[in-house]
Structure 1
Amino acid sequence: MEEKLAYIEEAEQPIAMHPKKFALWLFIVSVVMIFAALTSAFIVRQGEGNWLDYDLPQILWFTSGIILLSSASLHWAYVSAKNDQLTNLKVALSVTTVLGIAFLIGQWYSWVALVERDVYFVGNPAGSFMYVLTGLHAAHLISGVIFLIIVLISSFRYKIHSQRMNTMEMCATYWHFLGGLWIYLFVFLLLNH
């Protein structure tokens, strides 16, 4: 009888993932595929010629710094939630949300700077790609800011803490992904504009 109990205790746990986390990862993979396709198309089209040469707006350096800071502040929020430091959690989530909105405002001003340099959505494909890449990222970042606001509201309702981390983990995963995606796009544009 003891041998049977020992065997049962040593049974392996199946590898499992929360269904919402799995859906998030599927979504992230699809976004990666979209941006991989767009950056590949960018390179192919650039090689065909008739490509407008222009300087990237300087504000993109600033927005890149903002997105890195927002990842740091969200990590602070994650650690705070894990340690049940609920005041720090609320502050860090608020800071991250404000930085996310500041990033979007900075992206808008980068488009204004592009227009001032006669780089438009229509006309030369170089401009079209620039607007599509940054605009599509901005659309995903808007969804990230909405997710942050939902998590922030949940934190004020004390629904985010060390025993309920699922939503916080998903938000952090998505936000860090968006930050990494932006850094990839920014470096790509620096090297290929």
Structure 2
Amino acid sequence: MKESLDKELKKAKRKSAKPMLWVSMISMTMMFAGLTSAYVVSRKRSDWVSFDLPNAFYISTTLIVLSSITFFLAKNFIKKNNRQLTTVFLVSTLILGVGFVFFQFEGFKELFNAGLVFAGEKSTVKSSFIYGITLAHLAHIFAGLIVLLVVLYNHFNKKYSSVDFLGLELGAIFWHFVDILWIYLFLFFYFIR
């Protein structure tokens, strides 16, 4: 009886996992839509100062795109029960994700060295928005890195196989989401000056 109930609960949990993830990603999208809308409206202010994006943001963008490719490959290889290549691509995703975070902070350093600060007398409306929106995205990247560490932990404990890889799949969906979100933000900042 208890075993049957546990199976039903596990089945219900698995069935609701993806829809819950999609709902949370939609709410995150709405938050960033609001932030970027405020950025657009604020561009009309008389104290708006335009400047180029830091070079480090270009590097971080490349790294996060590559990390999505490696996570995609990891998912494909677990479907084929190739644990070794799954491991290689999951670890690659983690390294690229950490590299993304590193270059985001390098971008902040470039902004700071150019006299563009987040808050205070020397801050500009645009620099405050770029810092704020990018830091909000970084919070989601940190969540993604934690998810990735959990996926790696479960992978090393052989919880995923070609017939049961839901956790890895959910992690990949979230990672691709933060990747697409950054590409949107990067292009937004690049074109909406």
The two structures share one fold, judged by TM-score above 0.5: yes
Query: How much does 1:53 deviate?
Result: 1.8
Q: Give yes or no for contact 2:64–2:179 (8 Å, CA) kept in 1.
A: yes
**3-state DSSP class of the match of 2:43?**
helix
Residue number in structure 2 paired with 1:190: 190
Residue number in structure 1 paired with 2:132: 132
**3-state DSSP class of the match of 1:52?**
coil
1:181 corresponds to 2:181? yes
- Please identify runs of 4+ aligned residues in structure 1 that moved more than 3 A: none
Residue number in structure 2 paired with 1:97: 94
Residue number in structure 1 paired with 2:147: 147
- In 2, distance between residues paired with 1:160 and 1:88? 13
* Letter of the 2:69 counterpart: A
Q: Which runs of 5+ in 2 are unaligned?
A: 1-13
Q: Which runs of 5+ in 1 are unaligned?
A: 1-16
Query: How much does 1:158 deviate?
Result: 0.6
TM-align CA RMSD: 1.3
- In 2, distance between residues paired with 1:179 and 1:156? 25
Q: TM-score w.r.t. structure 2 length?
A: 0.89
- For 1:37-56, list aligned pairs within 5 A: 37-56=34-53
1:109 corresponds to 2:106? yes
Residue number in structure 2 paired with 1:12: none
Q: Please give the per-residue CA displacement for 1:137-175, whole angstroms capped at 9, x wherever unaligned.
A: 111000001100100111111101112111111011101
Q: Give yes or no for contact 2:64–2:96 (8 Å, CA) kept in 1.
A: yes
- In 1, distance between residues paired with 2:157 and 2:112? 44
